[in-house]
Amino acid sequence: MKIKKLTALVTVAMLATTMFVGCGSSSSSSATSSSSTETTTKKLVIGFSQIGQESGWRDAETNSVKDIPNQNKDIELKFSDGQQKQENQIAAIRSFIAQKVDVIGLAPIVETGWDTVLKEAKDAKIPVVLLDRNVKVSDPTLYATFIGSDFIAEGKSVAKFVTDKFGKDAAVSIVELQGTVGASAATDRQKGFMDGIKDFPTYKVIKSQTGDFTRAKGKEVMEAFLKSEGKKIQVVYAHNDDMAMGAIQAIEEYGLKPGVDIIIVSIDGVKDAFVAMAAGKTNFIAECNPLLGPQLVQAARDLKAGKTLEKWVKSDEKTFAGADAAKAALPDRKY
């Protein structure tokens, strides 16, 4: 009897082990590749270098990319988290080159400093697809395409909401929570906003500092702004929703009402921001689409087929203003 039970246990354990190895071989791991018994045709291998986990938006993009092998059984994904460091991303790209992946996807933390490693990828004949953020390189052929948002347009749409709200002659004091210094998402969102208020000389950005796209830093910087400027602040422009969420906490702790005493405008469109706007705590959201996995797949397939891609595949984005718009949009939000 005892021997029978033991044999049954060993059989279950062996089955479980086999299933785990099977899942592992087809999932998005950084080191493993598909088992040779699984398929006879070679999978298309994509190596993706992610920035990190700084925001809800970033997590949504990561999930979208990590879902690629689940939706495409002929694709293997090698995923690397750069943990907010460019040097980690460069090392990941070099590792993808050494592993001879078919296509490299890169969400570059900052715009500059990529020439050398992108040249190495080009020399190895591995095309690079930029996802979400752009780069500044000496030679545009160092990457195949950029799939992502128009960050300047996002900044302009935020400025338009603010100028429409306050009107031509009002004196408006604005504080800005910038994204990561040197990131295209931060540089261009600032540029777009400044362009948008340039014909409104009474609008002033009285404080501007990086909150690194994180909720904690957004709160910390907003606390400092409130300490020095207090009730003078009329508008918070946050380069992303997470920093806006941090600012809301800081404003509430300071004893003011976010969305009422201080207008809050931000970019991304994560669920938390819609919940806050539905509750009247924030006023305007410019959407930025993080669900870029399927477009990365399409680009990889096209590149493998030898096609030349458009240099910039722009995301479609909407804007949302006020509690009613947030309540109407919330049931359909995907991230």
**Site residues for ligand AHR per CB under 6 A:** 54-55, 57-58, 132-133, 185, 213, 240, 242, 267-268, 288
Strand order across the beta sheet in which 263-268 lies? 203-210, 172-178, 235-238, 263-268, 284-287, 319-321
Specify the residue, 110 or 172, whose C-beta has the smaller distance to ligand AHR. Answer: 110
Q: Report the C-alpha gap between 273 and 291 in whole angstroms.
A: 17
Shortest spacing between CB 213 and ligand AHR, in angstroms: 4
Shortest spacing between CB 137 and ligand AHR, in angstroms: 18
Measured at the alpha carbon of residue 215, what is the angle toward residues 211 and 217, in degrees to the nearest 5? 35
Specify the residue, 57 or 203, whose C-beta has the smaller distance to ligand AHR. Answer: 57
H or E element in which residue 261 lies: none
Shortest spacing between CB 118 and ligand AHR, in angstroms: 19
Shortest spacing between CB 108 and ligand AHR, in angstroms: 9
Specify the residue, 20 or 312, whose C-beta has the smaller distance to ligand AHR. Answer: 312
Specify burial of residue 165 (Cβ count, 10 A radius: 0-12, 13-18, 19+).
Answer: middle
Specify the residue, 25 or 315, whose C-beta has the smaller distance to ligand AHR. Answer: 315
Specify the residue, 64 or 72, whose C-beta has the smaller distance to ligand AHR. Answer: 64
Q: Tokens representing 163?
A: 């100028």
Specify burial of residue 146 (Cβ count, 10 A radius: 0-12, 13-18, 19+).
Answer: buried
Shortest spacing between CB 155 and ligand AHR, in angstroms: 11
Q: Report the C-alpha gap between 111 and 134 in whole angstroms.
A: 6
Phi and psi angles of residue 284, each rounded to the nearest 5 degrees, phi first: -155, 140
260 φ/ψ sector (left φ>0, alpha ψ -120 to 50, else beta): alpha
DSSP string, 88-108: HHHHHHHHHHHTT-SEEEE--
Q: Report the C-alpha gap between 269 and 118 in whole angstroms.
A: 31
Specify the residue, 59 or 115, whose C-beta has the smaller distance to ligand AHR. Answer: 59
Shortest spacing between CB 298 and ligand AHR, in angstroms: 20
Specify the residue, 111 or 242, whose C-beta has the smaller distance to ligand AHR. Answer: 242
Shortest spacing between CB 121 and ligand AHR, in angstroms: 21
